[in-house]
Homo-oligomer: A and B are copies of this chain.
Amino acid sequence: MKKQEPQTLISDLGEVKLIERLTKDFSVKYQSTKLSIGDDSAVVDLKSGSTVISTDLLVDKIHFNLDYMPLMHLGYKAVVVNISDIYAMNAKPKYILVSIGVSNQFSVEHLEMLYQGIKLACKNYNIELIGGDTTANNRGLLISITAVGNAIDGKIVKRSGATIGDLLVVSGDLGAACLGLMVLERENQKVLKNPHYSPILEPYQYFIGRQLKPEAGKKIFEFLQKNQITPTSMIDLSDGLSTELSHLSRSSNVSFEVFEDKIPISAQLEKIAKKFNMNYLELVLNGGEDYELLMTIKQKDLPKIMVNPNLTVIGSVSKKTSKNQLIKSNGTRFEIVPKGWDGFDYLTKSHIQTHHNDKPSDKS
């Protein structure tokens, strides 16, 4: 984390003035907002449709590394990660509450950068910040965000609705965010060993961008609304395709057949993965943080889905067997074992590392 000037001590400002300063130009966007920041609670009018609520906790050194994650990007990403869960219900995010815990290594200006990112995400996704809590932390930084969204009654999409014969569809491309993390980790290690080293990031811009500034499924949500498509089940890809498939599989009591050569990947992924001595398939199946939407749709909706270049049919829903399967182009089948991110993998490691395994894991 680069030092900024000037540096204002958080303790000099105090909690009330700090919150005022950080939140001063967050705008009210909805008529339904009755009372925003500054009282014991926020008050909102949610009389239309159903209310969708989700929360996420991000901890320094576990979910992010400030060595290469700029605070503004972190603020942006923290919001995106959260509202991604709201889109995954086929709902529209409207409000967030942001709690942060900070140690004394952070100045007011640092927090202002974090809030710049939060503000930009609020602008891009039309979200209002309506509350939060700001307190001291023993070490590092933690961010807890709760997102509140609105869904049209009857249009909510759960994890549990996939039925046999449905098609499995994914947005965007997979594995890029994890590759971006690997590049950042590698270059950071080099910088830590030799402070004069200039990190080589240019050839990996797309991947680094996917890691540092992911986007949530707003466009896909709007496309589904406009085309009157209601997926039968949906989840966001935060922890990797293999793990998210296992969630859908379990909730819907079905299995999935996924065609390897249908999985959308960016042009460079396979080539760069090779440079890292790994099979790109590890990234695609187990790399997380793509924040794409994974959904099942009725076959009748296929023509509507196909016109959108950002949606790809990658497989289908079959009867519940023991495992989900990957089908290679030569027809051979492999079991897809969930190997994505688990919040507690970390606790088994002897050293602190960020979100992802950067090597193929042999954990089941």
B-binding residues in A (CB < 8 A):
9-11, 13-16, 18, 34-35, 38-48, 50-57, 59-63, 85-86, 88-89, 91, 95, 97, 99-101, 103-104, 130-140, 142, 144, 146-149, 151, 156, 158-160, 234-236, 247, 251, 342-348, 352
Q: Which single residue of chain B is at the shortest CB-CB distance from A250?
A: B16
CB of A113, distance to nearest CB on chain B (Å): 18
Query: Which one of B131, B134, B139 lies within 8 Å of A138 (CB-CB)?
Result: B139
Most buried by B among A41, A132, A251: A41
Shortest CB distance A49–B (Å): 8
- A63 vs B132: C-alpha distance when bound (angstroms): 16
Q: A9-B347, A43-B51 are in contact. Are A140 and B142 (CB under 8 A)?
A: no
Query: Which of B63, B131, B144, B156 sits near A35, CB closer than 8 Å?
Result: B156
A16 to chain B, nearest CB (A): 8
CA distance A40 to B234 in the complex (A): 9
Contact between A41 and B101 (Cβ–Cβ < 8 Å)?
no
Task: Please tell me if the beta carbons of B55 and A132 are within 8 angstroms of each other in the complex.
Answer: yes
Alpha-carbon distance A195/B107, docked complex (angstroms): 39
The answer to whether residues A34 and B156 also contact, given A54-B41, A99-B144, A146-B97 and a CB cut-off of 8 A, is yes
Whether B39 pairs with A43 at a CB distance below 8 angstroms is: no
Known: A44-B53, A95-B53, A142-B142. A344 touches B15 (CB 8 A): yes
**Chain B residue contacts of A149, Cβ below 8 A:** 41
- Counting chain B CB atoms within 10 Å of each CB, which of A99, A132, A156, A235 scores highest? A99
Structural contact, B348 and A53, CB atoms closer than 8 A: no
Chain B residue nearest to A88 in the complex (CB): B40
How many angstroms between the C-alpha atoms of A13 and B235 in the bound complex?
A: 23
Q: A55-B99, A59-B138, A133-B55 are in contact. Are A89 and B39 (CB under 8 A)?
A: yes
Q: How far is the CA of A161 from the CA of B280 in the complex (A)?
A: 61
| Shortest distance between the CB of A353 and any CB in chain B (Å) | 11
Chain B residue nearest to A345 (CB atoms) is B11
CB pair B61 A347 closer than 8 Å: no
Residue in contact with A91 in the complex, picked from B41, B56, B61, B136, CB distance below 8 Å:
B41
A103 and B251 CA atoms in complex are apart in Å by 29
Q: Which of A91, A139, A234, A343 has the most CB of B within 10 A?
A: A343
Distance of A130 from chain B, by nearest CB (Å)? 7
A289 CB, nearest partner CB in chain B, Å: 14
Q: Which B residue sits closest to A106, measured CB to CB?
A: B347
B344 touches A59 (CB 8 A): no
- Whether A11 lies near B344 (C-beta < 8 A) is yes
CB-CB < 8 A to A134: which residues of B? 343
A3 to B40 Cα, complex, angstroms = 37
